[in-house]
Amino acid sequence: KAGVTQTPRYLIKTRGQQVTLSCSPISGHRSVSWYQQTPGQGLQFLFEYFSETQRNKGNFPGRFSGRQFSNSRSEMNVSTLELGDSALYLCASSVAGTAHEQYFGPGTRLTVT
Amino acid sequence: AQSVTQLDSQVPVFEEAPVELRCNYSSSVSVYLFWYVQYPNQGLQLLLKYLSGSTLVKGINGFEAEFNKSQTSFHLRKPSVHISDTAEYFCAVSATPSTGNEKLTFGTGTRLTIIP
């Protein structure tokens, strides 16, 4: 069974731009969660989607948004990029939520200059 | 809301020695507890989880953890470590689904370094 894939793996953007990251979950998984990992703040939960609906949301500004498609693939969008948005963005999928084992993708390394 | 404290940011251990990575949590509701491992330049992998039942949980790669509700702890242990265990270890907590707030909160991580 193929694992969680994230594209692109690396991205360099300029302040003020917007970016879209993509996550393809494991086949059959309906829950997709997004996390931001930085050296200073560690791993922080962004949001979770289940069957195309946002089910939980972390404490991030409205510049961070996401969506999930009918095939469970998910995208995360960050608008008006700031230097502090530089991070590793991880996507995780599971059958039905955090109580079930989450499988993480390798992440997208976003650098904002 | 839930929070997790990993008391040690770095733990150096000699190869074949035992190790314990400490984790304490705070929550006003029932929780699920997890340990994840992150190898360099990779995503996270689940080591083990506590949902209910026996407080001693066994995971992959010879790791185990014990849930202690009175001390709000979920320490990770391994009796004999190997070079390949060098990685970052994250403790995480989630409210149970019945609370409607099922999201993972991670600790700051413990970097385990195995010394040959």
* Res. B100 pLDDT band, cuts 50 70 90: low
B3 at A interface, C-beta within 8 A = no
* Cα angle B75, B42, A5; round to 5: 120
Minimal Cβ distance to A104: which of B44, B101, B109: B44
Please give, rounded to a whole number of angstroms, the shortest distance from the CA of B45 to a CA of chain A: 7
pLDDT tens by residue, A91-106: 999 988 766 788 999 9
* Cα angle A98, A100, A103; round to 5: 80
Distance CA B14, CA B57 (A): 24
B46 at A interface, C-beta within 8 A = yes
B106 at A interface, C-beta within 8 A = yes
Greatest extent of chain A over all pairs of C-alpha atoms, in Å: 39
pLDDT tens by residue, A36-91: 999 888 999 999 999 999 988 999 999 999 999 999 999 999 999 999 999 999 99
Question: DSSP assignment of A56-74, as one string?
Answer: EE-S--TTEEEEE-TTS-E
Distance CA A85, CA A101 (A): 27
The mean per-residue pLDDT over the stretch B84-111 comes to: 88
Neighbouring-strand partners of residue B72 = none
B88, B112 contact by CB (below 8 A): yes
* Res. B76 pLDDT band, cuts 50 70 90: very high
Distance CA A27, CA B82 (A): 33
- Please name the residue that has the structure tokens 């949301």: A57
Distance CA A47, CA B70 (A): 31
Tell me whether strands A53-57 and A108-112 are parallel, antiparallel or unpaired.
unpaired
